[in-house]
Every structure is written in C-alpha cells, then in structure tokens.
Chain A
Amino acid sequence: MLSRVAERVYWFSRYLERVESIARLIQVYTSLLSDLPKDTGISWHNLVLASGSHAEFERRFQVKDEKRVVRFLLEDQSNTSSLAFSLKMVRENIRTSRDTLPPESWELINEFQIFVSENIQQGINRRNRHEFLEQVIRTCQGINGLIADTMRRDGAWHFLRLGKNLERADMSLRTIEAGASMSAEFAAADMPEAAEVVWSSVLHTLDAMTPYKRTMRVAVSGEDAAAFLLEDALFPRSVACCVRQMQESLDMLPDGVEVKKTLAKIAKPLGGKIDYVDLQKLLVFIDSMELHFRSLHSAVDQAWFQPR
C-alpha cells in the first residue's frame, strides 16, 4: 500500500471520528446545561475547552455565548476542529483514496456532506439541534458499520483502526479532563451534587452509561467514571481499549518499532496505578497522556507516511 494512501486513510478515519465526537459533545452539553443549577458558573465556554480548540476561539472572540460557541464548533470552516471542517476533510481524504475503501462509503460520505451543508442551521438553534446531531451521529455509525462489515483486513484497514482509536482515546481524555476540572470547581464551591450531573454527562458523551453501570455496579461517581473510561479493557471508548486495538493493528503492520515503544509508554500506567481521589493529580496525569498521544501521532507519521 502506498505511503500516501496510508496517510490519507488514517486521516479519513481520524476526521470521521472527530465529526461524531463533536456532535456528541454538543448534544450532551446542551442537555447538561439544562440540568445544572443556574449559578454554577459553568458556561458554554467549557465546551470549547473540551473540544480542544480554545486557543483559536479566544484569539477571535470576546463573547462566549451559546450561539457563538455552537457556530464555532459546528460550521466554522476556519476552526480545524469544527464539524463542518472535519467533514470536509473526511471527503477530501476519501476522494484521494477512494480506491482503497468500500465503494459505497464514497456515496455515503457525499450524501452526508450534502445533508450537513443543507441542515447545519438546524444544529445552531436549540429547537432542532437534538434531531440534527442525532442524524449526524447515526450517519457516522452507519459509515463505520459499512466499513467494518465489508472491508478487507488489509493494511488500509489497520491504518483506519489506528487513526480511529488514536482520535477516540484523545477525545476520551479530553472529556474526562473537562469532567475532572468541572468537578474540581464544584468541590471548591461546595456543590458536590453538581459533580454527579457532570460525570453522568461525561459518561453519556462517550456512550458509556449503560456499560459503566453494568460493569462497575455502583452509582455514578467521579472516581469510578474516570477509572472506567481510562482503564476498562473492553469498552470501545475507554483509553485502555483504544490502546489495545492500536497494539493489535501495529502487530499487523511492517516495522514501526518507535510507534510500538511510544504506545507501550502509554499503556504502562493504565494498570491500576492512577490516583483518582486527588483531582489535581488526575488532571496532571491526563495532561501527560495527551502529550504522549501527540508523540504517538508523530511516530506513526515518521514510520509510514514519510516517503523513503
């Protein structure tokens, strides 16, 4: 498989995952804000933080109200983490590598982009937002399902899997980070009941509520939720599970010694050694994990995408 195609397939998968993540994030956040007491001081700006694009947002905007934030995350083409931009990159990457993916995926992506460009206003206003975002999430799941069901498990498949899981793990980390930092604020403000609402929404964002309850068999708490999302080996959006899937794919690809080393570093602390009680320590830990994932991407890029 061509190095260039490997790179495009990898980014296709990352951006597709990002589209779904943004939709989930806004979806859950909209409902979180309705559930929290008005005086919590939690604003729409936390959503920008969770999406990882706050630097760009702050450079451009003073006002941090709902409309501006949602527009920025949904339709802003100059925000490389926005839904519209990510979807454009999904199409751009499949357009240049459509010979390697199942033929129907091209048509689905086209329909998807037309749907989003025609309906994105529905996502801006609260009244139809839920329906619009639900449709976006379902379409992503449909495309993932099509690919999972029809694609040969060749090199391209493993690059898809690498990209998806790297993006996923990164998103899970940022969601946990957002939850932990909000909890820390509530603890300081003596509002422990708000923390439970926040962690529920963290679990919902990652579609983890039911699996969490069935696995952990406890009520929702910050410590247990964070532990589940970081260390459960079997839940697809937990960091440990993403890491395991990446390891499996790495074993199927040629070379990549440096990538394997970096991934091993990430995997090491995920074996019951994390302090969940001290929120500040947890935040520092998550921060270091995010940096490791960034090095992981560089290692992948060096190993396979740079023509030798």
Chain B
Amino acid sequence: MKRSKDSSIGIDWSAYPADQFFDEMITPKGNARRASREVVRHFSGLSREELEQRRIAAERTVRDMGVSFTVYSDGENIDRVWPFDLIPRVIDAEEWQRTAEGLKQRVRALNMFINDVYHEQQIFADGVVPSYLIKDSKNFRPECVGITPPEGVWAHICGCDLVRDSDGKFYVLEDNLRVPSGVAYMLENREVSKRVLPEFFESNSILPVDNYPSMLWQTLASVSPQKRRQPVIVILTPGVYNSAYFEHAFLAQQLGVELVEGADLVVDDDDIVYMKTIDGLERIDVIYRRIDDMFLDPEVFHEDSILGVAGLMRAWKSGNVAIVNAPGAGVADDKVVYAYVPQMIEYYLKEKAILPNVKTWLCDVPEHLEYVLENIEQLVVKPANESGGYGMMVGPHASKKDHEAFRKLVTENPRNYIAQPTLQLSTTPVITGIGEAEPRHLDLRPFVLQGKELQVTTGGLTRVALKKGSLVVNSSQGGGSKDTWIVQREKD
C-alpha cells in the first residue's frame, strides 16, 4: 500500500484500498459515498498532527469518562478501557428510516410469536414453524405458559445485529432478546465524538441519539402494573463483576432509577416485590433485569442462585410487578427460531419482511445437514443458543482440525447448530497509525424498544474488528467501536 509522505494531509484517501469489500465510506473508485462526503472532507482537512491529537484526546476522554468493560481472564476480572475509533460510521438517514421500519416490524412479530408460544401455539398448529423447536429449546420456560404480560409484550428491549454483505444491503444476523447490552457505549461514543470532533457537528446534519434514556424510561413505565404517575423502576444487576456492570450503573444514572442487586429486594407473602431502604421496605413496580432467566428466582430456577430474588416469579405471575424482558422471552433468541422470522412476519402481520435474514442452514433438516457437512470449510457454524461470539467457527479462518471437530458437533447435536455463508462483511476506515486508515469489518446493533409503543434507536452501536481481516467484533475478543452517525444528506 502506498503511503502519503505529505504531513499536511491527515488521511490520504487515494491510498485507501476500498475495492476489496463493500466499503461504507469510500467507493471502489476512491470517492466518498454521498452521506459520508462531509466527514471524508473533514478528515482530509486535518493534518497528521491534528489527527493524532484528536485520536489521543479521544482516548483520554474515554478514560476520564470511565468507559470500561470487564473481561474475565485467568480467574480475574479486569476492567478494560473501551476501545473507540475516531472515524465515525456514517449511514444515510433515508436508508436508516427504512431499516428502522424493518426492525420494528421484526420485533412486533417476534413478540406475537413469543405470546403465541406461551398460549395457543397457533403458529405450530398452522404448520408455519415446526413445534419441535420449542420442545427442544433451552430457553422455553414451561413456568410462563398462560401468562400475559402487560401489552402482551415479552421482549421489551431487543438488540438486533445487522451486517452489510458485498451487495451493500443490511441483513439481520441475529436477534438478542434476553439481556442485550451495548447501549451505554452507543451513548458514550457520541459524547466522546462531540467532545473531540465538535466542528463536524456544525456542518453536518447528524441526528441525535441522546433521547434513548427517556425512550427507555417511557417503555419501562408503560408496562407498570400499577398505573401511577411515578412508578418505582429499578435496574437489577448481577453486580460489579458482571461484564456489563458499567452499563447497568450508567443506565441507572441516566434514568434516575435505583440500581439494585438481588439482596436488595425481597418478595413478601403478599407476592409483592419490595426493596430494602433506610426507611424500611418500598414497593417496586418495574424491574429492568440484567440477569439471565435461570438466576432470577431460586424458588423456581437455579435454587442456589444468589443473584436473584426468591419469590420473584410468584410476584410476576400475580401481575404485581413487570419484569423486563419478561422471563421466557429468550425462547425467540435462538438461531434456529431466527431462521423462521420472515415466515412469522408474514403469518402474524400479513406483511413481507422488510429486512432480509442471512441465508441459514438448519443442521437438523437432513438436506441442510448434508450441505453443511460437505461445505463446512466455507461456512460459519454457530451454536443456536450462545451469544457474545462464543462457540462458533468461521470456516475459511479455521483449521482442518476445527472443521473436523465441528462436523462431529453438528452431527451429534444437529438441533443446536446452524450454518451460514461466510459473508463478505462490509468495511469502514479505522485509524491504524499516524495519518493512516485501513478498512476493517463491522456490524451494527440497533436497539428496539416495545412497550405501549415501538421505538428504535437512531442508529445503534457500531462494533468493528480491529484486526486486519478479522470478522469478530465482540469487545471481549478484541473488537472496538465507533460512533454511528445517521446523516441527513445535503440536497444536491
């Protein structure tokens, strides 16, 4: 790759290789894409020194703001500084609008599906989705059958991961319906870029993201069982050792609600949840829980869980408290169920899916399994129930030994595996040295909220692989992040 020797030029876009994958900022010919024009121009206008100063300022800001995530390694919890790349990821506002509609449609259908699963199971009876999916699902909770949460909503907060393929179109990669995290980083990323790139905000029409806390508060308040003006809302965290603790504390502060741990709550014989305050017990209406189903209530799930609250399920079933997301919502957070979402949308909403799925082979369909075994070197194989990028294999990047191991795994437990083509994930420029930018693969996690109303974040959290050629964007595995700018195009 040729390098610019001229130190007055910050990033020399003519040296940037944009022709290997679909690049979101630069066309293969080396021009800026329409929505990115101003951003690219600005970065060209910064000298190498200025660019390096901004980069250092951003790093400093992230540290001062205490933005961190926790990784567990060698039996120890380490607090790591959140990796942030200075160059924003730009998305055209019109394109975003359509994408947001697609996300709302998807989550609406998913919630109807979950409610159906725990009631009539009409969709199975009608043969649209095979019923064995549920019988064998790790995340199906028989305890939830027959319950109708407020507004019929189970998954109030969803993180749907989007990727672009070589055609430049958005595809849904997965739906996170259990305890999706990352929204705090979306908000903090914007705070950082406003501080270190202030002039960019003057000349660009960048849509704000900071209405998220109030959107979230409205969503939580709208499902309160007691209709009162000031419902008591809490965020339930597993505690300081959880990898997302930073986010739990951040959201509690942003929402102005208490951050509680299991030991702070108690359920009395009246099936009401209380928190232990210096004035005695105070009744709680809504729990935004950030712990998994199985740890929620030792009376019902893992009996040795010290993270949860004994009696919580009783209180929820009696309708005395709302739990967000509802217990059992994870039944739709399964990569096999995912494969059927387009059919669900047609079935429940009588609409065509706006956002396409990534082509998915289900290992327990015999013809699919055969294909997967034959082509495993080209495929990405994922366990149906994991999150965080764990337990998956990227065929082209894996060894022969791994291919063999995964052939064995999918044959032994086909229900638990799916395979997808190795996507030509889109790229965007990431600063890799002083005055240097290179393309790196990325994804996007928007957050969809459903209570009384349906809302989507403006953009979402952009995660980016920092290693050249890597497709893994998870921060726990060396990924970084970028601020996501939804930009209104200039009229030309």
Contacts and interface: CB of A to CB of B under 8 A. Distances in A.
Interface string B225-260: 000000000000000100001000110110011111
Interface in A288-308: 304, 307-308
A146 interface: no
Contacts of B264: 2-4, 307
B258 A3 contact: no
B66 A2 contact: no
B291 to A, nearest CB: 16
Contact of B249 (A2, A98, A110): A98
A154 to B, nearest CB: 11
A99 B277 CA distance: 15
A33 B302 CA distance: 62
B258 A107 contact: no
A181 B250 CA distance: 48
Contacts of B192: none
Interface string A98-118: 110001001101110010000
B202 interface: no
B66 A110 contact: yes
B263 A307 contact: yes
Nearest to B65: A107
A103 B66 CA distance: 12
B63 A114 contact: yes
Nearest to B250: A98
Interface string A265-308: 00000000000000000000000000000000000000010011
B6 to A, nearest CB: 35
A269 B82 CA distance: 54
A304 B278 CA distance: 6
Contacts of B250: 98
Given A2-B258, A98-B253, A307-B263, A155 B278 contact: yes
A254 interface: yes
Given A107-B64, A107-B65, A107-B66, A95 B249 contact: yes
Contacts of B256: 99
B253 A99 contact: yes
B304 interface: no
B276 interface: yes
A99 B66 contact: no
B51 interface: no
Nearest to A307: B276
Contacts of A110: 63-66
Nearest to A97: B259
A96 B240 contact: yes
A2 B245 CA distance: 18
B366 interface: no
A110 B188 CA distance: 15
A253 B279 CA distance: 9
A114 B65 CA distance: 11
Nearest to A306: B276
A114 B261 contact: no
A55 interface: no
Contact of B278 (A95, A98, A253): A253
Nearest to A103: B253
Interface string A1-16: 1111110000000000
A4 B263 CA distance: 9
A307 B264 CA distance: 8
A147 to B, nearest CB: 15
Given A95-B249, A307-B263, A307-B264, A2 B257 contact: no
A114 B60 CA distance: 10
Contact of A308 (B249, B252, B259, B280): B280
A190 to B, nearest CB: 55
Given A95-B240, A99-B259, A103-B253, A3 B64 contact: no
B331 interface: no
B247 to A, nearest CB: 12
Contacts of A111: 64
Contact of A3 (B65, B252, B277): B277
Contact of A2 (B64, B65, B240, B276): B276
B275 interface: yes
Nearest to A101: B253
A304 B277 CA distance: 8
Nearest to A3: B276
A253 B280 CA distance: 12
Contacts of A307: 263-264, 276
A5 B253 contact: no
A106 B252 contact: no
A145 to B, nearest CB: 18
A99 B257 CA distance: 7
A304 B63 CA distance: 34
B258 A5 contact: yes
A233 B259 CA distance: 38
A98 to B, nearest CB: 5
Nearest to B239: A96
A6 B257 CA distance: 15
B259 A6 contact: no
Contacts of A99: 249, 252-253, 256-259
Contacts of A6: 278
Contacts of B279: 1, 254
Contacts of B259: 5, 96-97, 99
B326 to A, nearest CB: 24
A253 B278 CA distance: 8
B278 A254 contact: yes
Instruction: Output the residue of A3, A6, A92, A103 with the most chain B CB within 10 A.
Output: A3
B317 to A, nearest CB: 25
A158 B63 CA distance: 30
A19 to B, nearest CB: 17
A1 B276 contact: no
A138 B351 CA distance: 63
Contacts of A3: 264, 276-278
Instruction: Output the residue of A5, A99, A308 with the most chain B CB within 10 A.
Output: A99
Given A4-B263, A95-B240, A109-B66, 9 more contacts: A2-B260, A3-B276, A3-B277, A4-B261, A6-B278, A98-B250, A99-B252, A107-B65, A307-B263
Those 4 A-B pairs whose CB atoms lie nearest each other, nearest first: A99-B252, A110-B66, A99-B253, A307-B276
18 contacts: A1-B279, A2-B277, A5-B258, A96-B249, A97-B259, A98-B250, A99-B249, A99-B256, A99-B258, A109-B66, A110-B63, A110-B64, A110-B66, A114-B63, A114-B64, A253-B278, A254-B278, A254-B280
